[in-house]
Structure 1
Amino acid sequence: MRRLTILFIAFLFIQCARQSQPAGGPKDEKPPELISSNPTNGQKKFKGKDITLVFDEYVKLKDPQEEIVITPSAGEKTKFAAKKNKVIITPELPWKDSTTYSISFRGGVQDINESNPADNLRLAFSTGTIIDSLEIIGRVNEFFKEKIPEKITVALYLSDTFDIFKHKPTYLSKTNKKGQFKIQNLKPGKYFIYAFEDKNKNFKVDGKSEKFGFRSNPISIPEEKDSIKINLIQVDNRPIKITSIRNTNTTSTIRFNKPLDSIHLTSEKKIIYTFGSNTSEVVIFKSFNTSDSSKITIHASDSVYQKIDTSAYVKFTDSKKVSEKFKQGDWTTSFNFTSFTMKAQTSFNKLLSKITLDSIYVQLDSSNYQQIKPEDIKFDTLHKSLTIETKLNITLKEKLLHPVLLLGKAAFISYDNDSSKTQEAKIDIPDEKDTGSLSIEIKTDEKNFEVQLLNSKNNIVRKQRNAKKITWNYLAPEEYKLMVIVDSNNNKRWDPGNFYNKKEPEKVIIYINEEGQAKFPVRANWEVGPLVITF
């Protein structure tokens, strides 16, 4: 009985020892307030080790390693502890001499009851005689997206030999929910700036999986006072490598560690090649003797213009290629009211060896047909994609037509001698009175750019290059958004830049209306615009 009493008293003691506030009463909406700190905000000649903050109520920490940002860094293993109404910070590294430190607590300190975060809590102190007071402010966005990325790390470095993929920054901050950032208590000088996700919290950019962005030119403070804009991209920045070569009796597959943007193979023997199931593998079709091997010279590049120039040997083996069913993607069709041109696109999982033109035609109406000619078809052997584009022999004055692209059996035959099935694809020609129009005005000094109109599925429905006044008619009623891609080098594609070459991605401008929305409606019999885009 005595033992039970002792255990009961011990249980009560443990309960009383927990940090908590009495229950009941109105909901606590008041955030914790800082009463005192050591060092104090703005203190100079600080010689202590631990940082101690005292609040007016019991507090707790939330994700301190992520939320509490110390600049310059005090080390990855800096310790954070909450004890009753105190927060204690123990740095991993000693505080540097004659250095200004800035600590931003963001949402890292909260009250016990309702998790109210301390408002705008910051602490700046110096181990020397001067408190540095300059700052860099700005905003982070993401290319091709209007949604603002959250919890992005923004960092500074001083040397142009700094590698964001290998080195850790000295100065850093994090964006708020609006994508804004502020790095304070800086010395005058030149700084390079970049932003990244830091999913693995190692203070380095993971070139494979993390979004990042950078400015190629340094920022000089206090001379430069403008807000800095950084746009994030998602690209695989690793060098290109061959990971494996697999030989069968009819093919050889060369696999790479990342998707390729382009590839060119040459050999002393005749070869045919195409991308495999994705652009990180290339399939070579062989026709040489069983005793032979062949040296393949490989020239490949990725989206950030990294290149590989190497060679590999492929050979015949008794291993048979795994049979694969012949598959074809869905047809996408469009019709241009101005030129009366029909465009249809599809893709295959296998290389084509034959296209039977007699089996491909357009049914214009119940009694009229139009044959597809050889010049109407383009087949991309590398990507295994096919495009049919032809002008339809029709008039829309009399009645609305509903043409259909018809493809008979065996219209397409694969390299493995598979045959395609009978298909049909409708060509939608809406009634003019059921469509709307859009006019756009571009104000810019850029010489080369492309204006794109995207529908609600993010598909490009119209595009035009280098025109400053555009009118698009016959638009289906739905929501659209406008995007402008600046083509600085006029290579007819968007370039994501390269950090090592100090080349920033080409600009992308998304039209935002007065309500702050990227999407806008086009309705039947409506004329929208002119929408003005300035850049």
Structure 2
Amino acid sequence: MSEVAKYSFGFIFSILILATYGCAVPVAPTGGEPDRSGPKLASTQPASGTVNFTERVIQFSFDDFVDRSSFARAFRIEPGIATPYEIKWRRKTASIHLLSPLPDNTTVVFTVGSELKDTRGNNLNSPLEIAVSTGSEINSGEALIRILPLPGISLPDDMRVFLYKLPYELDEAAFYLGQADTSGTVTFKYLADGEYASFLVQDVNRNRIWDPQREYAQPTAQRVYVVEDGDLDMGVAYYAQPDTVSLRVTSVGLFSKRRLRVEFSKPVRYSPGSNVLLEAIDSELPISARMLFVDTNDPNVAYFHTETDLSDTLNYKLLSDSFKSDAANTLISDSPEFQGSSEPDTSVVRFHTHLTQQGVRNTEPLIIQYSGVLENTLVADSVQVLVNRETDDDFLIADTEMNILRLTPTVPWNSSDSYTIRVWDPDSQRHITLTTQILDNSDFGELSVTIADSTMFNIPMVLKISGENTDNIALESTFVGSETITDIPVGLYSVIVYPDPDGDNKWDPGTINPFRQPDPIFVNAAVPVRGRMTGEIVVDFD
């Protein structure tokens, strides 16, 4: 090969390597412990706070490679300026090229929201901002608000705070768009003096304009006034939209002529006596099916046992209004039809769950759930009981109903005694030792709730108590002036109190159009209940 040929080959090979390198998609190196920290800002150009800004390029440089498509979704220009732009990349730096000049004498904020991810999928912890002014001064007003979901409700990822400067039109884009950081705090900086209104909006359309037909919204607070160099705390806005999506049946499978496997569109919860109703097509006679249990690995799936055989010559469907989801959503009537079966139930009954393992006291029974109907007395007759290591066949009375074994003490439980209770598992052909806690008065306390404002002392109030560490215990009461709730298991609870003048048991989050402020609400997410003690809560709505 000639020298020229060798040179040409080497040159072309070098060009191919460079082209391949230049076209490669940046990825994070692999190996070691996974990095779960979000992107971090290395530098910006210009620096935030720059005045008399006339350039057309803004740069965000990061400490690591970021997901470029998420940057495009997260980037915005405020206050609601419709300036066209292009985003160009050079390794870890995003350059925003403005295609038209910014308005004169205006404070402009270039924001990257927390939708931004790195190449490992980790989100930005809190929004990033570059604030500049095309004039000689930069706005210095600041306001913050905390967005918290009520206990038991999740805050959607697309929830935003729309901030409007008065006067405003709802069919126009919000002046400012706020997004909560990991603590739920939304901070608005570089605001001009003036009066503002803020709304909490599920910004599905991502266009900063509230769509009443598609997007949930509620006012966050009363209108506020921002002043130069002011630091305004707008308080807490509670997100209150519950899960209202109807429960649906996605599939029904028959294991036998009386055993159903039903898959729902969302999680369901077992409660004693839970039933669904079925009916044969072209028949008005409903058939009841008792819930046996919820699948441990899939809370959307539950198993049922019908009160009568389902004929293999008929088609059936589940009726609406006969069952509710874990979030209390009613089953709607578009259940798929399914054919009955003539197959006998050959599945082996097995021990499923000890439903009272959280504890019992006095003469409360132990409740044990099996996977199928207990059709004979074998399980009830096989119970073994030791009290203080001595066999005591008379201490518990065993009875069965459907798939439930109930063990009721003949004398009250005593927390100073030791109990060993074994129940029979037909599947494994062995006894299973139950673990339970014997409770006494030291395991329960009280909460006393009093309304602080004497002018509201005669208004009906709703009190809701819920706790994560006590099997999601939920207590609800309506009272006037004050209320004491007794026999609450020891633990940490969320307490909600709000006025209910209409008697509908619902908190009114207000409306945007026409504007109506939210009703007062008191929320304390960390109320301790201590044994044999009465905790006092003074409800102040201010």
The one-letter amino acid paired with 2:141 is L
Q: Distance in 2 between matches of 1:530 and 1:133?
A: 42
**How far is the alpha carbon of 1:494 from its aligned partner?**
3.1
Q: Quick one: which amino acid aligns to residue 196 of structure 2? A: Y
Residue of 74, 82, 86 corresponding to 1:67: 74
CA contact (8 A) 1:61 1:108 kept: no
The residue correspondences of 1:17-416 to structure 2 (distance < 5 A) are: 17=22, 31=40, 33-34=42-43, 37-38=45-46, 40-48=47-55, 50-53=56-59, 55=61, 60=66, 62=68, 63-75=70-82, 78-84=85-91, 86-91=93-98, 94-106=101-113, 121-145=128-152, 152-159=159-166, 162-163=169-170, 166-207=171-212, 210-215=215-220, 217-222=222-227, 225-234=232-241, 323=284, 325-327=286-288
Deviations 1:349-375 (A, max 9, x none): 6899xxxxxxxxxxxxxxxxxxxxxxx
Query: What is the CA-CA distance between 1:438 and the residue it aligns to?
Result: 0.8
Could you tell me which of 478, 501, 506 is aligned with 2:519?
506
CA distance in 1, matches of 2:128, 2:40: 11
Question: How far, CA to CA, are the matches of 2:520 and 2:237 in structure 1?
Answer: 11
Indicate the residue corresponding to 2:533 in structure 1: 527
- Residues 329/521 of structure 1: CA separation in 2 closer, same or farther (3 Å cut): farther
Q: CA deviation at 1:229?
A: 2.4
Q: Which amino acid aligns with 1:13?
A: L
Distance 1:26 1:351 in 2: 53
What residue identity is the alignment partner of 1:437?
Answer: G
Deviates more, 1:55-64 or 1:22-31: 22-31
1:451 aligns with 2:456: no
Tell me if the contact between 1:110 and 1:118 (Cα under 8 Å) persists in the aligned partners: no
Residues in 1 aligned to 2:223 and 2:321: alpha-carbon distance in whole angstroms: 49
Q: Residue 481 of structure 1: CA displacement? A: 3.7
> Does the Cα contact within 8 Å between 2:217 and 2:512 map onto a contact in 1?
no
SS in 1 for 2:462: strand
TM score, norm. by length of structure 2: 0.52
Residue matched to 1:470? 484
Instruction: Name the SS of the counterpart of 1:227 in structure 2.
Output: strand
Paired residue secondary structure (1:17): helix
CA–CA distance in structure 2, aligned partners of residues 56 and 487 of structure 1: 50
The 3-state SS of whatever aligns with 1:461 is strand
SS at match of 1:13: helix
1:134 deviation in Å? 0.8
- Partner letter of residue 523 of structure 2? I
Preserved contact between residue 31 and residue 111 of structure 1 (Cα < 8 Å) = no
Query: Would you say the 8 A contact 2:221–2:517 is kept in 1?
Result: yes
1:160 positional shift: 5.6
Deviations 1:305-334 (A, max 9, x none): xxxxxxxxxxxxxxx97757344888xxxx
* Residue identity matched to 1:466: V
Question: Is 1:436 the counterpart of 2:448 in the alignment?
Answer: no
Distance 2:78 2:320 in 1: 55
Q: Is the 8 A contact 1:32 1:110 kept in 2?
A: no
Q: Does structure 2 conserve the Cα–Cα contact (< 8 Å) formed by 1:214 and 1:231? A: no
Match of 1:98, SS? coil
Contact 1:140 1:180 in 2 (8 A): yes
Q: Deviations for 1:350-402, whole angstroms, at most 9, x for unmatched residues?
A: 899xxxxxxxxxxxxxxxxxxxxxxxxxxxxxx9xxxxxxxxxxxxxxx9598
CA RMSD in angstroms comes to: 5.2
Counterpart of 1:252?
Answer: none
Amino acid at match of 2:486: W
The aligned length equals 361
Q: CA deviation at 1:150?
A: 5.4
1:12 matches 2:17? yes
Q: Which runs of 5+ in 1 are unaligned?
A: 238-276, 278-319, 331-347, 353-382, 384-398, 403-421
Gap runs ≥5 in structure 2: 245-275, 292-317, 323-331, 333-361, 366-400, 414-438
Structure 1: which amino acid aligns with 2:533? E
What is the distance in 2 between the residues matched to 1:480 and 1:85? 45
1:325 corresponds to which letter in structure 2?
A: P
C-alpha contact 2:147 2:180 (8 A) present in aligned 1: yes
Distance 1:109 1:479 in 2: 35
Q: Secondary structure at the match of 1:33?
A: strand
- CA deviation vs aligned residue, 1:429-480 (integer Å, no higher than 9, x gap): 998956723132324213322223346565643414123251424x467775
Q: How has the CA–CA distance of structure 1 residues 56 and 150 changed in structure 2, closer, same or farther, with 3 Å as cutoff?
A: closer
Equivalent pair of 1:194/1:212 in contact (CA under 8 Å)? yes
Q: Under a length normalisation based on structure 1, what TM-score does the superposition of the two structures give?
A: 0.53
State the alpha-carbon separation in 2 of the partners of residues 350 and 71 from structure 1.
Answer: 48
> What secondary structure, in the 3-state scheme, does the structure 1 residue paired with 2:232 have?
coil
- Go from structure 1 to structure 2 and tell me whether the alpha carbon gap of 1:460 and 1:188 turns closer, same or farther (over 3 Å shift): same
Structure 2 distance, partners of 1:92, 1:46, is: 15
| C-alpha deviation, 1:176, in angstroms | 0.4
Partner SS, residue 503 of structure 1: coil
